[in-house]
Amino acid sequence: MNTEEDNETEHDKKQKKFPKDCYSFMIVNGPLRRFPCFFFGFGIFLVQFLLLVSLILSKIIRSMNTNDIMDGTHFFIPGDVPYLVRFAQFITIFAYTLIGDAPMRDLITAGEMFCCIKQSENVEQISNLRFFFSSFLRLIQGGACILATFLLIFASSNVEDVIMNIVAINFISMIDDLAFENAIDGYFGQNIQEGANIISKKR
């Protein structure tokens, strides 16, 4: 009896579907096979990454953003802000780490994908290099989101900026999920829609 249950459990693990986001396009489709689908997934990553890099650089490099409040002693973090703003910053960081929103899920999913490279029933049909490449890009995007979150929150000079910054980061992190949903609905053409449907059924 236990043997049958173990077999069912092992079968369920193998039947785990790929994440329904644009990074899975790069796992299922190679650059030489169904190039439009591969490029679609990689293009969404570039959009996310470039937006995050722009946000990070705008806070770290002063010449790129002259509107920040600088007091000459705290680099890019405003020193003279009300206690209410500091309270909002720490509450936001606490909620961010406790709830585990989109960037945290991306990091967790990337780790799971690294560990599951050998567990897919279709592993013989899927290049381990593509598995690794997609998971690595997901890891970069999730890490950049978390870095940008901390920088933007502690660089905020009022409560409104604290809230708006965390919302903006979450939106950027969810672009790949939203783009996948639109791909399923056919907004990016039939070729991309077929690729998204394959991912939805792929195990």
Count CA atoms closer than 13 A to 170's CA, side-chain side: 14
Q: What number is the average pLDDT over the span 163-180?
A: 88
Q: What number is the average pLDDT over the span 50-79?
A: 65
Q: What mean pLDDT is reported for the chain?
A: 76
pLDDT at 121 over 80: no
Higher pLDDT, residue 157 or 176: 176
∠ Cα 23 28 33 (to 5°): 115
User: What confidence score (pLDDT) does residue 31 get?
Assistant: 78
The residue type of 69 is I
Q: What is the pTM of this model?
A: 0.74
pLDDT at 96 over 90: no
Confidence bin at 80 (pLDDT 50/70/90):
low
Q: Are 104 and 142 in contact (CB under 8 A)?
A: yes
Structure tokens at 147: 């870095």
Mention every residue, 6+ apart, whose C-beta is less than 8 A from residue 32.
Answer: none
User: What confidence score (pLDDT) does residue 16 get?
Assistant: 52
User: What confidence score (pLDDT) does residue 62 get?
Assistant: 59
